[in-house]
Amino acid sequence: MVDFLKRRLQVFVSSTFSDLKEERQAAVEAILSAGHIPAGMELFAAGDESQMDVIRQWIDESDVYLLILGGRYGSVEPKTEKSYTQLEYEYALESGKPLFACVVNEAAIEGRVKANGRSVIETENPQQLKQFRADVLTRVVKFWEDTKDIKIAIAEKLSDFARREDLVGWVRPENVNVGALADEIARLSKENADLRAELKKWAAEGSGNISFDEMRKLLAAKGLLDFLERSRLQLGLNGMTASTGEQQRNCPELCILGLITTVAIGHPQRYSLTEQDAVF
């Protein structure tokens, strides 16, 4: 099997750029020191929609999204009137991407202004920054005053993410026990085939042959019931992009049952709830 301690997660680093160069560099160093892979879009200029498409793809293909929020709001996208950093953050949330944020402590902003001038604070869109910061703070965040705080926060959080089995990451071939992995794949394939057959039978013939309780047991046995309950809010609001391994495994199964449906074809695919889901 895969040794999760040797798996490398790809971490997308999102922030404003000119005011947080040192902080981004600290984040990259912390990610590398933890044995993982940093990803960012420093080479792309803000304001190009095609580049935003590339950024979304990078977020989709990363295992974890990291936001570093300082005292600037950043360049604003004209159509939405939101900063590109906020659009990246909202896309990661919408996609169900595992994420965490490092937010500058308000008490530290004054010291940053003294050291770096007013270029590190927002003067054009202070209200948008205030609202964005408030939205970010509705979730658990780590506050920072200097680069040391950012490095500590990243090391702690990546240690937690590294133990999650649903994150794909990168694994060198020599770190995989191929024989054990093949046996596990064979076992899971048979189990999956058996469950698929039962689920398809239920979907084709209706509930006449399988009771509601039996159906819930089937969903629970495959981990679909827990996944559906955890994802129901996201699926019901704006739909969910199947970007994680867990989502890519479970969403097609739920589609077979008619509990969710595809709303956009592509890679990754996007899904939303159906009326039948309300039964569960």
Pairing of strands 64-69, 76-77: unpaired
Whether the per-residue pLDDT at 267 is higher than 70: the answer is no
Rounded Cα gap, residues 141 and 20, in angstroms: 18
What's the burial of 46, exposed, middle or buried (CB within 10 Å: 0-12/13-18/19+)?
Answer: middle
Kindly state whether residue 167 falls inside one of the protein's structural domains. no
State both tokens at 248: 């890519």
Roughly how many angstroms between the first and final C-alpha of the chain, as a whole number?
A: 34
Pairing of strands 270-273, 240-241: antiparallel
Confirm whether pTM is higher than 0.75.
Answer: no
Kindly state whether residue 257 falls inside one of the protein's structural domains. yes
State both tokens at 220: 């629970």
Q: Are residues 138 and 207 both part of a single domain?
A: no
- Please give the residue range of the domain that contains residue 154: 4-162
pLDDT in tens, 137-170: 999 899 999 999 999 999 999 999 988 888 878 7
pLDDT in tens, 182-221: 776 677 677 667 766 666 666 565 544 556 677 777 778 7
Q: Are residues 156 and 183 both part of a single domain?
A: no
Kindly state whether residue 168 falls inside one of the protein's structural domains. no
CA neighbours closer than 13 Å in the CB half-sphere of residue 225: 14
Residue 157's domain is classified under what CATH number? 3.40.50.10140
| Number of independent structural domains in the chain | 2
Kindly state whether residue 227 falls inside one of the protein's structural domains. yes
Q: Which of 162, 190, 219 is the last residue of a domain?
A: 162
Q: Are residues 138 and 187 both part of a single domain?
A: no
pLDDT in tens, 78-104: 889 999 999 999 999 999 999 999 999
Instruction: Return the CA Rg of the chain.
Output: 22
Share of the chain above pLDDT 90, in %: 40
